[in-house]
Each structure stands twice: as structure tokens, then as C-alpha cells.
Structure 1
């Protein structure tokens, strides 16, 4: 398991990337809030996508569309991948939830 020194900047970078993409939305369509270890994306319908740290196991957890997915950081690919081996990637999964909630694409800055 990775140590906290490695985990913390990876989480900070993931949160920063998600927030930057969400900031491009009209706040009447999607609002983004960050509180400590959690980012909450709230659609106009009041449905949410929640991205939360799971520090004890060094994962990120995403709740949205009626499911919760845990993501581990994969050093080889430098991506967050679901811990069940379903082939889900964190940023693509969050974008899919946002598309479901808003009907609009979540575009991550380069």
C-alpha cells in the first residue's frame, strides 16, 4: 500500500482536476463544493456525485448514479482504476456521472 506522503498529492491533484472541470459549468447546472476530504458535485436536480478519500486504504471513493466505486492509484498507468477490475477509470467515471446528471460533458483541462 502506498504511504500517505505519496497519497496526499495524488488526491490533491485529482480534486484540483475535477474542480477545474466543474468550474466551467454554469452554477445553475452544476455546483462544486470541496470540504476537507470530499468534493461534492450537485446538479440542478439536487442529485449528487461525491468524491471522497478513503485514507485508511489509500483509495478514492465515488458515489453517483446509485453506486459507489472505490479507486486505487495504479503507478504503472498513472491513473486511478476501480478496485474490482471492471476497467473503470476515475475521471471517466466522474464525467459519466456528470453527463447523466446534467446532460452535459465534463471536460477536463489539459
Structure 2
């Protein structure tokens, strides 16, 4: 399992990238709020996508599309993958949830 410092570094990069994507969208279409270990993306309908750290197990948890998915970092690919082996990738999953709730394209900076 990765150490705390590495996990914190990876999580900070995830949150920064997601906030940058959210900042590119009109806040009337998608509102982003980051508080500590949680990022909440809210559509005008009040539907939400919540991204939260799970420090004890070194994962990121995402609530959206009526489900909660845990993502673990895969060193081999440098990506966050769902822990059930369904082939879900964190950034793609969040972009899909944002599209579902707001009809906005959630485009990450390069």
C-alpha cells in the first residue's frame, strides 16, 4: 500500500485537475465547492457528484449516478481504477456523471 505522503500528493493533483475543469464551466450550469477532503459538483437541478477521499484505505470515493464507487491508484498505468474491476477510470467516470447531471462537458486541462 502506498504511503501517506504519496497518497496526499496524488489526491491533491486529482482535486486540482477536477477544479480546473469545473472552473471552465459557467457556475450557473455547474457549481464546484471544495472543502478539505471533499469536492462537490452541483447542477442546477441540485443533483450532485461528490468526490471524497478515503484516507484509511488510500482510495477516492465518488458518489454519482445513484452509486458510490471506490477508486484505487494503479501505479502500473498511473490511473485511478474502480476497486471492483469493472474497468471504470476516475476522471472518465466523473466527467460522465457531470454530463448526466448538467449536460456540460467536463474537460480536464492537459
TM-score range, shorter chain: over 0.9
User: In the aligned structure 1, how far is the partner of 2:47 from the partner of 2:99?
Assistant: 12
Match of 1:56 in 2: 56
User: In the aligned structure 2, how far is the partner of 1:61 from the partner of 1:42?
Assistant: 16
Per the TM alignment, residue 65 of structure 1 is displaced from its structure 2 partner at its CA by 1.1
User: In the aligned structure 1, how far is the partner of 2:78 from the partner of 2:65?
Assistant: 26
Query: Cα deviation per residue 1:4-49 (whole Å; 9 max; x = unaligned)?
Result: 0110000000000000000011111000000000000000101100
Root mean square deviation of aligned Cα: 0.5
Match of 1:30 in 2: 30
TM-score if structure 1 supplies the norm length? 0.99
The alignment of Structure 1 onto Structure 2 pairs a total of residues equal to 110
Q: Which segments of structure 1 move beyond 4 Å, counting only runs of 4 or more? A: none
TM-score if structure 2 supplies the norm length? 0.99
Q: What 5-or-longer segments of structure 1 have no aligned partner?
A: none
SS in structure 1 opposite 2:53? strand
Q: What 5-or-longer segments of structure 2 have no aligned partner?
A: none
